[in-house]
Structure 1
Amino acid sequence: MPQRRPVLAAALIVRDEARCIARCLDSVAPWVDRMVVLDTGSTDDTPAIARSAGAEVHHMTWPDSFAVARNQALALADADFNLVLDADEWLNSGGEHLRAWCASPPRLGRVCIHSDAEGASTTRNWITRVLPRGARYQGRVHEQVASDLPRARIDLHLGHDGYLGAQITGKHGRNHALLLGDLSERPNDPYLLYQLGKDADMRADRADACTHYALALAVTPADANWRHELVVCAIQALSRAGHLQDALDFADAELGNWAQSPDFFFVLGDVLLEQAIADPRQAIDQWLPLASSAWERCLAIGERPALEGSVAGRGSHLAAHNLGVVRAQLAVLG
């Protein structure tokens, strides 16, 4: 008797996503058996657009918890495997790998999300989004999959534009309150502290960002998949807050851990450039040559898209641009 093919569903929670819901559903429809959309209170045409795109649409009052809403969407999907998406994402490539993944023993799949941000930069994060039946989320916001199943990367790539323009504005206050709620229950959770640092960064609260990144670094395991991005963010936060020497001291302490990270050397070059501006007497002889060396190191390493939180271009054109500007400046001053 032939074995039943596993059912694969796309599971989404949405609210007021008329701008982008069709793009998301159209991109994933060829690769899944069903699409399940859980609407949490839209006042626009999101539900109607989702139905027109072929999705089953259900409704739920917003429970003040992304995990609760996602778990309800997973229950409604009732599928053997689920591809969890947000409406402001779309499947760029790799859909053809999903069926082979579902034919393997149950495990959790990390996909690469390419998030566009202001300034034409794109950050790459590997996030658990392919879930077998029974896997569930925990956490009010920046929710995580709570499962002992092994996690592995699947060559599936999603685009994401939720950090651009007006899309990000409404998230600041909501996410901050939800993070604080989770932190009150898990006060030393390293991932929550890290996300509070990123939240402070988005709100341009430099002091709060430095505080929470420091707290996160004190308790984050060395093998945590987000530690690379945490270190890079912490260096940037110290620099933006004007703590240039602290940023340099911290980078020096972490140097041995990130010898193959263009992101690490890219932000180190930025700090050294800021130091040159702050200390012009030593700029030509010390700080600018050191900044150049950091960006040269980026180019020597090249792009490392497998690093969590890597920014496209830091191992190529972004570093080359910075290096060219500083070399031109040194030629004029020299």
Structure 2
Amino acid sequence: MNNKTVSLCMIVKDEESYIKRCLDSVSNQVDEIIIVDTGSSDSTLCIAEDYGAKIFKFAWKEDFAEARNFSIEIAKSEYILVLDADEYLDQNTNLQEVLKELKDYYIINFKNYMDGGYITNHQAIRLFKNNLGLKYFGKIHEHLNIDDFDNLSIAFADFFIHHDGYKNEVFNQKNKFERNLKILEKEVKNNPTGYNLFNLGIQYKVGKEFLKALDQFKKSYSLSKNQIYLPFLLYSMGDCLLQLGRNREGIYLMKDSIELFPKYTGFYYLMGLFYEKQNYLKAAEKEFEKCLELGEVEHFQSIEGVGSYFAYIKLSEIQQKQGKLTAALDSAFSAVNQNKMFPPALNQYFSVMKSAGISDSNINDNLKMIYPIYEVKYLEILVKVFYVNRSQLLQLFIENYNLRVENSVLAIAALYNKKYIEACSIWMNEEKLDPEVLSDIISLCMIEKNKELFIKIQNTMNFDEREKKMMISLIERSDTMEALMSTFLFDIFKNSCLKLLILGEEKIFLNLYKNIKFTDDQKEHLISLLVVHGFLNIAGYLLEEEIKANKLNYHLDGLLVDVYIRQNKLNEALTMCTKLIEKTGDYSSYNRLFNLYEKINYEEEKLLVEQAMKQVLTVELA
């Protein structure tokens, strides 16, 4: 069969950083390249000329469809491929193989790369027959008028288009957010279709205006009942509710959404997040297991990983919170195995090992087996994980691989190898201090009683005068503080306390703890952090002391049960947990008893507790 001719059609403006990659990906796949330029002032057009592109000028009128239609009217080939400069074909693409089906248009899968290694997937028509009368409409997020035709043939193309235009460096550099928001608000005003309302909601969500986004999604829903984007619209509504802390409302929305689309994995993923926020840990665990059973979403817009490595990470976190460290390590290992390039997966694996009390040297031996460093990009991820977790291994890798890193990283490496004077010296000589390391610096100030270093950072922290006095008192360890800590000060202090314990400075931590007046909520929060991070002896000691002083705070009782289970003090845990259920009868207490029965293989009792948990969950969510 003869090959089909293909025209690449692009609209561009100042794309010198990206267009070469795009054109490289299609250079052997297309017969002509049509570039419609809306006002470039950089070297974009010179690069395009090197590829033999036909270049046309077009006055920009804030209408993508108009510019897109101008480009396809020029095309001479049998098929048209549409790309933007920040997109490129997957290296395994074979357009001629795809076109053997001779379809009128093809739906193509997109991978959209975000900051931090996150990926979203969506589908769009970018390959279609020329001269059928297909045209674009919509001033932004333009799409083809396929609904105006009957009996057009369609297929899903077996290749990906990669897109990194949503990364912050690209998005901000090109002022895409403000440009898109302006066009979308005008488009919705003039033409309030379900699709336009949906896209405006997405734009508000990107700008973290979740209430505005939710309002647009609700308006879009009633107009979008039969649209392919409906599952992602519902997912986006749920995500807004999650960000707004409206967890119960979100749970009901996800239940209704699952009724409509029972195989859309993202709904179960969000349900797991909502349950976690409500501290329904066993229920959350089941939702993430369901995600893995369903696998990734196909043929709908979705977040990549909700049916694979994302779900494994969250499953591991939930298992870690329940003290099931062997299972948590297995889940984290699966996440790393599925995506070695996603830092949160490796970070969770490291976190579980640390909370299990595994030494850094043994962790290093373990990582050598599961995470071989054969490319610079893998080494970079590993070093980031060491940095985030404040591991002694950071110093080892800097030295062994002769890495050039920022001074703040060198200071962290020195600090967590207990080179306190060296760390002080680095930070004292820094003109501007990274906000990420402020809790580390405060920990160092407390260890060394270094008021001079604290004075250097205090303006960065926006302390008021009262807070400054309290912090200096903490650093000097001189007075017992009767005044309560502000929420702002407590957030800094709790992180500094964790850093003290990572450094093995338990005596300093305990001295500080005894000298500070906390609210009950602050005590619970701080001690719960100690439990999750594996500082069980100190957490257990503090809990036993606090429970003596406050016998009616059942949250503290629950935390002590967690400690006992993790320490294999199973008789103590069972006695205390049984009493806790008699007093509260809440979901968390049954959840703890279930975990205990699971650990000692009481299968019949476990089933009874699981039934009780379901009943309690129904009542608590009513």
Aligned residues: 318
Q: Amino acid of the residue matched to residue 107 of structure 1?
A: D
| TM-score, length of structure 2 as denominator length | 0.49
Match of 1:294 in 2: 287
8 Å CA contact 2:103, 2:154 repeated in 1: no
Residue by residue over 1:69-124, the C-alpha shift from the partner in whole angstroms, topping out at 9 and shown as x without a partner, is 0111111223221000010001014532x225545555121111100112311111
Partner AA of 1:111 in structure 2: I
Task: Give per-residue Cα distances to partners, 1:157-205, cap 9 Å, x unaligned.
Answer: 1110000022112111111221222223322x11111101100011111
Please state how far the C-alpha of 1:217 moved relative to its aligned partner.
1.3
Q: Could you say what the CA RMSD is over the residues aligned between the two structures, in angstroms?
A: 1.8
Contact 1:28 1:95 in 2 (8 A): no
Whole-Å separation in 2 of the counterparts to 1:27 and 1:218: 40
- 2:512 is matched with none
Give the residue type in structure 2 aligned to 1:181.
Answer: K
1:211 maps onto 2:215 in alignment: yes
Give yes or no for the alignment of 1:177 onto 2:175.
Answer: no
Of 47, 57, 60, 2:58 maps to 60
What letter is aligned with 2:262?
A
Distance 1:260 1:93, change over 3 A: farther
Q: Which moved more, 1:102-111 or 1:25-34?
A: 102-111
Match of 1:330 in 2: 322
The answer for the alignment partner of 1:318 in structure 2 is 310
**Structure 1 counterpart SS, 2:216:** helix
Residue 26 of structure 2 corresponds to which residue in structure 1?
A: 28
Distance 1:244 1:50, change over 3 A: same
Partners of 1:266 and 1:302 lie apart in 2 by 11
Q: Structure 2, unaligned stretches of length 5 or more?
A: 324-530, 532-561, 563-591, 593-622
TM-score normalised by the chain length of structure 1: 0.90
Task: State the match for 2:162 in structure 1.
Answer: 159
For residue 36 of structure 1, give the secondary structure of its aligned residue in structure 2: strand
Corresponding position of 1:83? 81
Mapped contact 1:248–1:268 kept (Cα < 8 A): yes
SS at match of 1:225: coil
Matches within 5 A, 1:84-233: 84-93=82-91, 95-96=93-94, 98-102=95-99, 104-133=101-130, 134-147=133-146, 148=149, 149-169=152-172, 170-187=175-192, 189-222=193-226, 224-233=227-236
Contact kept, 8 Å, 1:67 with 1:141, in 2: the verdict is yes
Secondary structure class of the residue paired with 2:36? strand
Q: Which has the larger radius of gyration?
A: 2
Larger mean CA deviation between 159-168 and 73-82 belongs to 73-82
**Which residue type is aligned with residue 140 of structure 2?**
V
Contact 1:89–1:160 (CA under 8 A) maintained in structure 2:
yes
Alpha-carbon distance between aligned partners in 2 of 1:157 and 1:219, rounded to the nearest angstrom: 30
SS of the residue corresponding to residue 95 of structure 1 reads: coil
Q: What is the letter of the counterpart of residue 200 of structure 2?
A: L
Render the CA deviation track for 1:269-306: whole Å, top value 9, x for unaligned.
11222223xxxxxxxxxx111111110111111223x2
Question: Could you say what secondary structure the match of 1:219 adopts?
Answer: coil
Q: CA deviation at 1:311?
A: 2.1
CA contact (8 A) 2:98 2:158 kept: no
The one-letter code sitting in structure 2 at the alignment partner of 1:81 is Y
Give secondary structure in 1 for the equivalent of 2:28: helix
Could you tell me how far apart the structure 2 residues matched to 1:28 and 1:42 are?
Answer: 22
The secondary structure found in structure 2 opposite 1:115 is strand
- Counterpart of 1:83, as a letter, is L
Return the structure number with greater helix share: 2
Matches of 1:242 and 1:61 in 2, distance apart?
Answer: 45
210-219 or 54-63, which deviates more: 54-63
Aligned to 2:428: none
Match of 2:254 in 1: 251
Equivalent-residue separation in structure 1 for 2:116 and 2:271 (angstroms)? 19
| Cα-to-partner distance string for 1:16-37 (whole Å, 9 max, x where unaligned) | 1111100001101111111111
Question: How has the CA–CA distance of structure 1 residues 101 and 299 changed in structure 2, closer, same or farther, with 3 Å as cutoff?
Answer: closer
Cα deviation for residue 255 of structure 1 reads 1.6
Cα deviation, residue 218, structure 1: 1.6
Higher normalized contact order (CA 8 Å, seq sep 6+, divided by chain length): 1
Q: Identify the range of structure 1 (190-199 vs 238-247) with the bigger mean alpha-carbon deviation.
A: 238-247
Partners of 2:237 and 2:299 lie apart in 1 by: 16
Residue 243 of structure 1, CA deviation: 1.9
Distance in 2 (alpha carbons) for counterparts of 1:179 and 1:288: 40
| 8 Å Cα contact 1:115/1:124 also seen in 2 | yes
1:309 aligned onto 2:301 = yes
| Equivalent position amino acid for 1:67 in 2 | A
Give the whole-Å Cα distance in 1 for the aligned partners of 2:278 and 2:177. Answer: 31
- Find the counterpart in structure 2 of residue 282 from structure 1: none
1-structure distance, mates of 2:289, 2:100: 44
Q: Following the alignment from structure 1 to structure 2, what is the Cα–Cα distance between the partners of residues 226 and 150? A: 20
Instruction: Work out the percentage of aligned pairs sharing the same amino acid.
Output: 26
Quick check: 247-256 or 145-154, which moved more? 145-154
- Which range is displaced more, 84-93 or 150-159? 150-159
**Aligned residue for 2:482?**
none
Q: Closer, same or farther in 2 for the Cα pair 1:297/1:104, shift >3 Å?
A: closer
Instruction: Identify which range, 172-181 or 101-110, moves more after superposition.
Output: 101-110
Aligned to 1:46: 44
Quick check: 2:122–2:302 contact (8 Å CA) kept in 1?
yes
